[in-house]
Structure 1
Amino acid sequence: MANTIHFTKMHGAGNDYIYVNTLIDMIPDPAKASIEWSKPHFGIGSDGLVLIGRPSEDSVADFSMHIYNADGSEAMMCGNASRCIGKYLYEKGFTKNTRIKLETLSGVKVLNLHLNDENKVGSVTVDMLEPMMTMTEQFTGKHPSLSSIPGAKEGVFVSMGNPHYVIFVDDIKDIDIAEYGKILERDDAFPQRCNIEFAQLVGKDKLRTRVWERGSGITWACGTGACATATAAVISGLTDRKVEIIMDGGTLNIEWNEDDGHIYMTGPAEFVFEGEIQIP
């Protein structure tokens, strides 16, 4: 059993990851493990691997999160994964607090857990901090060509600690997410590659959004992508500051708070199954 570790499969609105608690088990090569375990049919199948651990010594956080995409690349942040970590830590007994500070590569995020009548975590609100629209090393400022994409308007750059490019379209059903997402992720406008969101306004303060995630491809949901989409919609004058984002795997509620400028994301987190697997 020395070469095996315990894992937990969880999802947030269908955005599914393999979770390993490094307070208990260590993985020598998490990038390799993520590639092998994320494969459908041949592994567990997931959008990637998430490591739950201790924060760095000088951090004010309670716990830490490290994320590896299905292609082995390390991600800065994942909103859906952070909600799942909140549920995991509380329901597995690693904390009794309903307010958890989580260290990520894009800063410390605060998780507020909402308990149901059975003392289980029904949903989680994450303080995603302030979005950034100014040009960073993630963006060149040059917009990629969208002329071949049906009904596409010029996109909006948004950084939620990780890079996003939000494209509003007339009808999302007309968009081949795999075809255009794969091309746009690696466009010259994005030196570090980019997450791509396609969004359609479908009602008052309501957007239907599909995502191509950097390093993972099409995913059922993306927490930072939902935040970026809401931010872009507010900037573009399409919605007010409270926005409902309908993704393939479920709905996330996003608020861009006018008082502190922070983005607050609320959504579900669910256990799928647990098991043991051999370390590659």
Structure 2
Amino acid sequence: MRLEFTKMHGLGNDFVVIDSTRQNVHLDEAALRHLADRHFGIGCDQILLVEPPGDPAQALFRYRIFNADGSEVEQCGNGARCFARFVREQGLTEAREIPVETLGGRIVLHVEGDERVRVNMGRPVFAPEQIPLVAEHEADAYTLDVQGHAITLGAVSMGNPHAVLLVDDVASAPVTEVGPLIERHECFPRRVNVGFAALRDRGHVDLRVFERGVGETLACGSGAAAAMAILRRRDLVDDEVEVSLPGGTLVLSWNAQAEAPVWLTGPATTVFNGWIDL
């Protein structure tokens, strides 16, 4: 099977984007892992599929996201921005407001005049059973036993599960050591993305993210949205925050109202187009 694809990135968080509206695409987990392999495939953090919507009255496309290990996930903010640029560059739509279906629910992508993409990430969900998180009741912070150490973190769903730890300095944060332990902790039955956040001030946050099924990435849009939501709920940041990740900076906004969505704005870049035989 020959597949055409486009390599893209959002602040270094890189993707293989495949249009399945104009070609037949059948990918099992082994094929997905091969595509993501940086030595024997194309190489990426995640594979994004563009599909026709299930309900054309509600969305222009269906947006599917697969991690490098072949698992399908609900949401990806950096990928969403690349998705919006891709469908416009490929002539699939001329719309600047693009509603799409995802596994985590419907989201709307807005392509601005400078071609940056603003994404409605949906409202943060803090109820433990909806994250999902095993906890007796909802709280601003939870304490987990991680190999005999008590670790305090916030938890939220941004369409996918996130845990966020406050640290003094992201450069020295134990991302690769503690990240995978929390990702697969028994309190998170569907695993979890793990963010390590350091406050500079009320308008600036430094962040590193260990992504579920991927490992640490240069940027994570839903992770930035999760950090914003958890910190804003605790009144540690203002309604608009710049979140600096290893790959660059995203702008997040949320007014802490229960039904209000988190908005994410940032760039998306096309690297090259190609094809691969599977």
Taking structure 2 as the reference length, what is the TM-score of the superposition?
A: 0.92
Asked if residue 261 in structure 1 is aligned to residue 260 in structure 2, the reply is yes
How far apart, CA to CA, are the structure 1 residues paired with 2:276 and 2:219? Answer: 26
Q: Aligned residues: percent identity?
A: 37
Q: Distance in 2 between matches of 1:208 and 1:153?
A: 19
Q: Which moved more, 1:157-166 or 1:54-63?
A: 54-63
Q: Is the 8 A contact 2:122 2:159 kept in 1?
A: no
3-state SS of paired residue (1:144) = strand
**In 2, are the aligned partners of 1:55 and 1:61 still within 8 Å (CA)?**
yes
Q: Secondary structure at the match of 2:179?
A: helix
**AA matched with 1:256:** W
Equivalent residues, number: 270
Q: Pairwise mapping of residues 170-185 of structure 1 onto structure 2 (< 5 A)?
A: 170-185=168-183
1:190-227, CA deviations, whole angstroms, 9 ceiling, x for partnerless residues? 01100000000123311100000001111111111000
Task: Please show how residues 102-251 of structure 1 align to structure 2 within 5 Å.
Answer: 102-116=100-114, 121=115, 123-137=116-130, 138-141=132-135, 143-145=143-145, 154-251=152-249
The match for 1:43 is 41
Of 3, 8, 11, the residue aligned with 2:9 is 11
State whether residues 55 and 62 of structure 1, in contact with CA within 8 Å, keep that contact through their aligned partners in structure 2: yes
AA in 2 matched with 1:269: A
- Provide the rounded CA distance (Å) in 2 between the counterparts of 1:82 and 1:127: 10
Contact preservation (8 Å) 1:31, 1:68: no
| Displacement after TM superposition at 1:147 (Å) | 8.8
Q: Report how far residue 128 of structure 1 moved.
A: 1.1
**TM-score normalized by the length of structure 1:** 0.91
- Distance, in Å, in 2 between the alignment partners of 1:147 and 1:36 is 33
My pick for the range that moved more, 27-36 or 140-149, is 140-149
Residue 146 of structure 1 deviates from its aligned partner by 5.9
Q: Is the 8 A contact 2:146 2:181 kept in 1?
A: no
- Cα deviation, 1:147-190, whole Å, max 9, x if unaligned, reads 988xx972101100110000001122222311111111001110
In the alignment, the residues of structure 1 paired with residue 217 and residue 21 of structure 2 have an alpha-carbon distance, to the nearest angstrom, of: 28
Q: Which amino acid aligns with 2:107?
A: K
Structural RMSD (CA): 1.8
CA contact (8 A) 1:30 1:49 kept: no
CA distance in 1, matches of 2:35, 2:227: 30
Structure 1 SS opposite 2:15: strand
Partner of 2:152: helix, strand, or coil? coil
2:146 and 2:241 map into 1 onto residues whose CA distance is 25
Greater shift in the superposed pair: 182-191 or 133-142? 133-142
Task: Provide the residue aligned with 1:76 in structure 2.
Answer: 74
